């Protein structure tokens, strides 16, 4: 009983209770929905919420704003797809291979670019993301260029392919919860405190003995790893990938926006950003179609400006201060 006592105390916390109720609602609602359009919305919320959470590990906790995470997403998507198509390797294993490769690329990128600060680092990662897009477009012998790669539609658990959308909903939910758990663990660990110290004052952190280079490399490796996993999940869900869908710059901008609006450097902020904005995007595209292309980006920009002006800590940070000031 003594082991369960701390958990019971956390559940009694009003904020924790609200989070558990929200997660329970997200987990049970798809069971009562038969419309595949709405099930697709759940999949996309979980997918982009997980991707935004992965971005937040580097961009939020470490304060290193990256505009190149589309490259890690593409590495995961292309690695698992190519291994499956060319060698018959299960996407479950291909996902791990792609994630490890993305983590390695992230460490190399960090070793090169961590000397840069602020917008200079963001510009360097922007260039990295664009280079990955150019490679995906032009390396036709591997990626098939703009023609893209299609996965054979053979529903099977070993292929990570399913006939209906409900299994994808719960796969997305599991991925979403894994990223939440990793973010929460980092936030409340020594690594999280070190990253916060670096973000707030690098010189003071170094003076206190924090190995800032090392902790940032860990952060970018974990962030890249999880981003690549979301890329594999996306590829298996849509069963088709091309450079536009998995490597365009807008992916990095989108997940950064989710995290910023939801609340940086918090495990729930990016999730809240995705839960708010993904349905807005889906509804705008469904209602307006192609008559007003890009309208959702205008709305994103407007909301971002308003949040930065009136909610500088993001939606989650502001609501937490207002309703749960003692947590």
Mean per-residue pLDDT pooled into runs of 10, the chain (327 residues): 46 69 85 89 95 96 94 97 95 97 97 88 95 95 93 90 93 96 94 93 89 94 98 96 93 92 91 89 72 69 81 85 70
Q: What secondary structure letter does DSSP report for 167?
A: H
R_g of the chain computed on alpha carbons: 20
Long-range pairs for 26-31: beta carbons < 8 A, 24 or more residues apart: 26/173, 27/173, 30/166, 30/169, 30/170, 31/166
State the pLDDT at residue 121.
Answer: 94
**Which stretch of DSSP H or E encloses residue 51?**
helix 36-56
State the pLDDT at residue 24.
Answer: 85
Would you give the distance in Å from CA 118 to the centre of its chain?
Answer: 21
Q: Hey, is 241 helix, strand or coil? A: strand
State the pLDDT at residue 220.
Answer: 97
Residue 51 CA to residue 45 CA, distance in Å, equals: 10
Select from 121, 109, 114 the least CA-distant residue to 72: 109
**Which stretch of DSSP H or E encloses residue 265?**
none
What's the pTM?
0.91
State the pLDDT at residue 327.
Answer: 60
Q: Hey, is 55 helix, strand or coil? A: helix
Residue 304 CA to residue 308 CA, distance in Å, equals: 6
Residue with tokens 């595949």: 36
299-313: b (≥16 Cβ within 10 Å) or e? ebeebeeebeeebeb
State the pLDDT at residue 7.
Answer: 45
| Lookup: tokens for 150 | 């299609």
State the pLDDT at residue 150.
Answer: 94
Select from 75, 66, 68, 115 the least CA-distant residue to 95: 75
Overall residue count recorded for the chain in this entry: 327
């Amino acid at each position: 009983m003594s082991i369960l006592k701390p958990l019971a105390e956390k559940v009694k916390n009003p904020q924790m209770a609200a989070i558990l109720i929200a997660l329970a609602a997200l987990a049970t609602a798809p069971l009562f929905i038969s419309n595949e359009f709405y099930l697709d919305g759940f999949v996309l919320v979980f997918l982009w919420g997980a991707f935004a959470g992965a971005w937040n590990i580097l961009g939020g906790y470490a304060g290193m704003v990256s505009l190149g995470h589309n490259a890690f997403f593409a590495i995961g998507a292309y690695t698992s797809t190519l291994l499956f198509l060319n060698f018959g390797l299960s996407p479950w294993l291909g996902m791990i291979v792609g994630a490890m490769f993305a983590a390695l690329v992230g460490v190399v990128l960090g070793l090169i670019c961590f000397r840069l600060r602020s917008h200079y680092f963001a510009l360097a990662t922007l260039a990295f993301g664009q280079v990955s897009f150019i490679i995906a477009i032009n390396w036709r012998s591997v990626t098939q260029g703009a023609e893209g790669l299609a996965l054979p539609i053979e529903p099977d658990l070993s292929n990570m392919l399913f006939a209906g959308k409900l299994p994808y909903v719960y796969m997305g939910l599991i991925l979403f919860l894994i990223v939440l758990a990793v973010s929460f663990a980092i936030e409340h660990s020594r690594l999280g405190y070190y990253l916060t110290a670096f973000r707030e004052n690098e010189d003071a952190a170094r003076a206190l003995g924090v190995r800032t280079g090392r902790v940032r490399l860990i952060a970018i490796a974990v962030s890249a790893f999880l981003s690549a996993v979301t890329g594999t999940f996306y590829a298996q869900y849509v069963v088709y990938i091309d450079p536009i869908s998995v490597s365009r710059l807008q992916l990095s901008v989108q997940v950064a926006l989710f995290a910023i609006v939801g609340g940086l450097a918090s495990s729930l902020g990016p999730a809240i950003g995705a839960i708010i904005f993904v349905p807005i995007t889906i509804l705008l595209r469904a209602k307006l179609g192609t008559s007003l292309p890009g309208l959702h980006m205008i709305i994103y920009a407007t909301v971002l400006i308003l949040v930065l002006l009136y909610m500088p800590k993001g939606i989650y940070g502001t609501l937490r201060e207002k309703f749960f000031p003692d947590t």
